[in-house]
């Protein structure tokens, strides 16, 4: 079975702090994704990566950056956290080879920015 | 551009009754369609997907979905709902013409199954 893990289930940070969210997958997937989930808005794509050191902006990249130094690990960085970044963050991974491949999700990190 | 609509914020159903969660989509090319379920404080779990072929797709936990190209719909169904089916359900679409294969999610439908 595919396993996607996220470093924290819950985080509380203060405005202006630099925040790192880590995601690791164990299935040698090329694609990795970061979403944020907000009530009534569903999931919105922040960034994705299709290979090591490669990244592409999603629909809402402002205020975020990402890092992918190893194939299995994809990090989301909030350079200076703000209260409007309080949300549930979900990481996902999938095979690149075919576009119909399923995305598999981690358990999520619920971030509260005070 | 691709988009997904889930017209109902919440669906209420009594245990044992049929459950339907609606989804309509818009894409430029042919769609790849997915349903996911999210239990409280958990990530999304894959239920089923339509890629091509038979319009009726069967998935996990007794769920199925019917692809209707003329109505651009992909409704999720279960013949007899269980209390344990209470969760948040997401429909998602991927356009075959999208070079990155990104998913577009609907806003989600909360399903409440009462005993």
| CATH code of A50's domain | 2.60.40.10
pLDDT band at B72 (very low <50, low <70, confident <90, very high): very high
Contacts of A58 in chain B (CB under 8 A): 102
Q: Do B34 and A106 touch (CB under 8 A)?
A: no
Q: Looking at the domain assignment, is residue A58 inside a domain?
A: yes
* Residue numbers of the domain that contains B84: 3-114
Task: For residue range B74-112, list pLDDT tens digits in order.
Answer: 999 999 999 999 999 999 999 888 777 788 999 999 999
Q: Looking at the domain assignment, is residue A102 inside a domain?
A: no
**Six-digit token pair at A109?**
């990190």
- Whole-number Å distance between alpha carbons of A89 and A38: 9
- Whole-number Å distance between alpha carbons of B55 and B21: 16
Chain A: give the shortest CA distance to residue B44, in Å.
6
CATH of the domain at B83: 2.60.40.10
Task: For residue range A87-106, list pLDDT tens digits in order.
Answer: 999 999 988 756 667 899 99
pLDDT at A98: 60
Distance of CA B107 to the CA centre of its chain: 11
The closest alpha carbon to B84, from B107, B58, B115, B59, belongs to B115
* Residue numbers of the domain that contains A8: 4-97+108-113
Q: Looking at the domain assignment, is residue A103 inside a domain?
A: no
Radius of gyration of chain A (CA): 13
**Any chain B CB within 8 A of the CB of A84?**
no
Q: Looking at the domain assignment, is residue A81 inside a domain?
A: yes
Contacts of A42 in chain B (CB under 8 A): 4, 90, 105-108
Domain count, chain A: 1
Contacts of A35 in chain B (CB under 8 A): 105
Decide if pLDDT at A79 tops 90: yes
- Whole-number Å distance between alpha carbons of A91 and A109: 9
Chain B: give the shortest CA distance to residue A80, in Å.
25
Of B43, B102, B108, the CB nearest to A42: B108
Task: For residue range B7-38, list pLDDT tens digits in order.
Answer: 999 999 999 999 999 999 999 888 999 999 99
- Whole-number Å distance between alpha carbons of B35 and B22: 11
Domain count, chain B: 1
Contacts of A100 in chain B (CB under 8 A): 32, 49, 51, 94
Q: Looking at the domain assignment, is residue A20 inside a domain?
A: yes
Chain B: give the shortest CA distance to residue A56, in Å.
9
Chain A: give the shortest CA distance to residue B81, in Å.
23
CA neighbours closer than 13 Å in the CB half-sphere of residue A6: 27
CA torsion, points A51, B36, B51, B93, in degrees to nearest 10? -70
**Any chain B CB within 8 A of the CB of A63?**
no
**Any chain B CB within 8 A of the CB of A34?**
no
**For residue A59, what is the nearest residue in chain B, using CA coordinates?**
B104
């Amino acid at each position: 079975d595919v396993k996607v893990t996220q470093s924290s289930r819950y985080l509380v940070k203060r405005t202006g702090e630099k925040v790192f969210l880590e995601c690791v997958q164990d299935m040698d997937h090329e694609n990795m994704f970061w979403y944020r989930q907000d009530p009534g808005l569903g999931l919105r794509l922040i960034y994705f990566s299709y290979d090591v050191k490669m990244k592409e902006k999603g629909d809402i990249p402002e205020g975020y950056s990402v890092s992918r130094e190893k194939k299995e690990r994809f990090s989301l960085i909030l350079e200076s956290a703000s209260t409007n970044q309080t949300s549930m963050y979900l990481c996902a991974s999938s095979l690149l080879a075919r576009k119909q491949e399923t995305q598999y999700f981690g358990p999520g990190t619920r971030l509260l920015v005070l | 551009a691709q988009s997904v609509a889930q017209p109902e914020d919440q669906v209420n159903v009594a245990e044992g009754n049929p459950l339907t969660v609606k989804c309509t989509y818009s894409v430029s090319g042919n769609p790849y369609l997915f349903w996911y379920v999210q239990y409280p404080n958990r990530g999304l779990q894959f239920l089923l997907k339509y890629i091509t072929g038979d319009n009726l797709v069967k998935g996990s936990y007794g769920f199925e979905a019917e692809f209707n190209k003329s109505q651009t719909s992909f409704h999720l169904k279960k013949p007899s709902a269980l209390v344990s089916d209470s969760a948040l359900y997401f429909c998602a679409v991927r356009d075959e013409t999208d070079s990155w294969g990104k998913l577009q999610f609907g806003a989600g439908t909360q399903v409440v199954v009462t005993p």
